[in-house]
Amino acid sequence: MAASRAAKFTAALAVGLGLLSGSAPAATLYRPEVSSKDPRDLSGVWFLRRYNRVIPTLEGTPPPMTERAKLEWAKRVVAEANGAPIADASSHCWPHGTPRVMNSPYPLQIFQTANQVIIAHEVAHNTRYVHMQRGHLTPAKVSFMGDSVGHWEGDTLVIDTVGVDDRTWIDEQGVIHGPKLHTVERIRKIEDGKAIENVVTVEDTDFFTKPWVFRDTYAWRPDLRLTEYVCEENNRNAPQDGVTVAK
C-alpha cells in the first residue's frame, strides 16, 4: 500500500504558496470549496465521516439478525478474538462488495456519465458502476459489487443493488449476507453541498428478520485526490485456508 506521492507534492506546493504569499500554508484545493449547486451533480471527492467497523441500525441497535446470521456472526467474533479471523472478500484483495465498500475510511470519487454514476474508491481501487438507464438483469448477474441500477427521485439518487457475491460481508466484524441480499441506497446532498448522506436499507430474509436501515454521511473534500492503494502488494492479511493471517 504505497504512500501518497500526490500528498507529498501537495504539501510541498502548499508550503511553497504559503511562502510566496507570506501567510500560513493553506491546503491546496483541487475543486471548488463547495460541491456543485446542481443537486444532481455529485461529482467530486467525498470522505466517510464516521467510520465504524460495526454498522449499527438507525436506532443504534445491532442489525435484526436471524438465528443463522447470529451463529455466523458469533463464529466470526470468536475466531477474531482467538487470533484467527475468518477471511472476507477484502482479505483476498477481492472487491469489498456493497454496501461494505461504502463504509471504508478512504476517499471515494463520484463520476457521472450519460448512462452511469461511477463510484471510484481509493480502497483497493474498487469501482462501482450504477446503471441509470436499465433495470436489473434477469437472471441476476452475480458480482462482488453486485448489479446496481439507479434513478433520481427528486434530488435523491436511489441505487438498487442485487446479485452481490455472498463472499462479501456487510460490516467488518461478522454481519454477513446471502444471495438474497438487496440494498436500496438513497443518496442526496445535505448541508448546502458540503456533504452527502446515504440512507441504506438492507434486506435479506435468510439473514435478517426484517429490513433494516443505516445512515452514513460523507464530507465534500476538495483538498483530496485518490491515491494508489494496492492491496496485492505486501498483503499482510492474505488468508490461508480461509483464515486471515496477520504477518
Partner 1 sequence: MKTTLLAVIAVAAITGVATAEPIPAPADQLRFQGIWKLAGGDHSTVKTTVGKLPPMRPEARARYDAAVAARKAGKPTGDTAETCLPPGLPRAIFYPQPFHLIVEPNQVTFLHEYMHLHRLVFIQDALPANDDLDQNWLGFSAGRWDKGALVVRSRGFNDKTTIDTAGIPHSTELMLTERLRLVDKDTLEDVITIDDPKTFTSPWQTKITFQRLPDDTEIGEYICTLTNPEAVKK
Between CA 96 and CA 141 the distance in angstroms is 17
Whether 185 and 161 have beta carbons less than 8 Å apart is answered as: yes
Using CB under 8 A as the binding rule, whether residue 113 contacts partner 1 is answered as yes
Confirm or reject binding of residue 246 to partner 1 (CB under 8 A).
no
- One of 25, 66, 80, 94 touching partner 1 (CB under 8 A): 94
Residue-wise burial string across 89-115, b where 16 or more C-beta atoms lie within 10 A, e elsewhere: bbbbebbbbbbbbbbbebbbbbeeeee
Residue with cell string 458502476: 129
Q: Which of 125, 151, 152, 194 binds partner 1 (CB under 8 A)?
A: 125
Tell me: does residue 6 bind partner 1 (CB under 8 A): yes
Contacts of 37-44 with CB under 8 Å at 24 or more apart are 37/193, 39/155, 39/188, 39/189, 39/193, 40/152, 40/155, 40/157, 41/112, 42/110, 42/112, 42/117, 42/157, 42/187, 42/189, 42/196, 43/110, 43/111, 43/112, 44/109, 44/110, 44/220, 44/221, 44/222
14, three cell numbers: 502548499
Name the segment binding partner 1 (CB under 8 A); options: 1-9, 63-71, 176-184, 205-213: 1-9
Residues 174-213 that bind partner 1 (CB under 8 A): none
CB of 2 to partner 1, least distance (A): 5
Q: Which of 40, 52, 79, 111 binds partner 1 (CB under 8 A)?
A: 111
222-241 positions binding partner 1, by CB under 8 A: 222, 225-226, 228, 230-233, 235, 238-240
Select the residue interacting with partner 1 from 77, 84, 118, 199 (CB under 8 A). Answer: 118
Q: Which is nearer to partner 1, 113 or 209 (CB)?
A: 113
Residue type at 2 in one-letter notation: A
Binding segment toward partner 1, per CB under 8 A, in 41-49, 50-58, 75-83, 173-181: 41-49
Q: Is 110 a binder of partner 1 (CB under 8 A)?
A: no
- Minimal distance in Å, beta carbon 173 to partner 1? 22
Q: Candidates 15, 21, 191, 194: give the one binding partner 1 (CB under 8 A).
A: 21
- In sequence order, which ranges of the chain are alpha helices (DSSP H)? 5-21, 67-81
Element (H, E) at 129: strand 127-131
Interface with partner 1 (CB under 8 A) = 2-6, 8-9, 12-13, 17, 20-21, 28-33, 36-37, 41, 43-44, 92-95, 109, 111, 113-115, 118, 120, 125-127, 129, 131, 133-134, 143-145, 222, 225-226, 228, 230-233, 235, 238-240
